[in-house]
Structure 1
């Protein structure tokens, strides 16, 4: 898991180094998601990287009936991860990333529930790892790592520390990290 998370950190480093224009102008999450996916793709050779991808071969990624997770379509069935690292034709789903801007006022619980569902080992399309990343103008504000359908506390702490050491943690005006 640490290898994949290190690759995500490398993609975030390149993203923050190259995309100041977008961040300073407060562009939308979809724009930022696409640009981050470009850098993620450079890190995961041999894998496909897609945004808002809801398929596996011909099948649509649908949540189990009765799931508490809200979905992203009007029928309440399909789920669209922001960025995925996967193989499109076979159930080999490595990484799902949910991206948020730090000024997003929608409840974070939607993204957290989505990552729990995407990494749930009981669904046929489960991703090995899920990561929630909150983007600030100058760095990552909040991050969480998911595996096995739940937050992975030790991996989340490790990932946050690696972000901090890499200079990717956003600081507030008083110099404190958040």
Structure 2
């Protein structure tokens, strides 16, 4: 898990080093997600990296009947992760990333529920790891790591510390004096 998370950190370092234009001009989450996916792809040789990918082979990623997890389509069943690292034609799903801007005022629970569902080992398309990253103009303001259908506290703390050490982490209240 730490190897994959270190690759996410390296991708975030490249993202923040190269995408100042987008961050300073407050571009939307879809634009930022795409650009982060470019850097994630460079870190995961031999894997496919896609945005809003809702398939496993010919099957559409759908939530189990009776699921309380919200989804992204009008039928309330399909699920679209922001960024995935996977092998498209076989059930080998490594990493799902949900990116949020810190200025997003929609409830965070949607992304958290999605990552719980995407990493749930009882779901046929489960990803090994889920990462929630909240990005601000000058750094990551918050993050969570998911595995086994739940937040992974130890990995979340480790990831947050690695973000801090790498200079990527920024507390939300750092903007108060600006």
TM-score norm. by structure 1 comes to 0.97
Q: Which of 146, 161, 173 in structure 1 is aligned with 2:175?
A: 173
Deviation at 1:170?
1.7
Residue equivalent to 2:37: 37
Give 1:63-142 correspondences, 5 Å limit: 63-142=63-142
CA distance in 2, matches of 1:174, 1:63: 40
Deviation at 1:174?
5.8
Greater than 6 Å deviation, 4+ residue runs: none
The unaligned stretches of length 5 or more in structure 1 are none
SS at match of 1:169: coil
TM-score norm. by structure 2 comes to 0.97
Moved more, 164-173 or 88-97: 164-173
Aligned length: 175
1:79-111 Cα offsets, whole Å, 9 max, x none, are 000000000001000000000000000000000
1:33-83 Cα offsets, whole Å, 9 max, x none, are 000000000000000000000001100000000100010000011000000
SS at match of 1:127: coil
The unaligned stretches of length 5 or more in structure 2 are none
SS at match of 2:134: strand
